[in-house]
Amino acid sequence: MKRSEEADTPVLITEAKPSYDEELAHRKRRYMLTMGLRFPCLILAALFYHTWWLAIGFVVLSVPLPWIAVLMANDRPPRKSEDVNRYSHEPGNRLEAAERQTIEGRQD
């Protein structure tokens, strides 16, 4: 599709990106869910303290969860690449090249 055809084509609402508030709410939910998984991991580690390898596994699993939660909460979708509108100098002066009509005034 050519650039001029893209400009004439209407944007479907299903292709619109979510608003900033919706995106922020989604990232907050992901953060809370990931941080919420840490507490059950620590509880399970305490419950399985007799099985030391399972308890250590739950503790090791719970250690990177805050870091992962912060990374996911701060992750935003990439910006669209936009074409940069650059000035292109064309040789010749367009004002001088254009034909102009002159209005003859009255001479008294």
Encode pLDDT of 6-40 as tens digits: 666 665 666 667 788 888 899 999 999 999 999 99
- Alpha carbon dihedral 51, 56, 59, 60, in 10-degree steps, equals -150
pLDDT in tens, 38-84: 999 999 999 999 999 999 999 999 999 999 999 888 887 777 766 65
pTM above threshold 0.85:
no
In the chain the first and final C-alpha atoms are separated, in Å, by 63
Q: Where are the domains of the chain?
A: 37-76
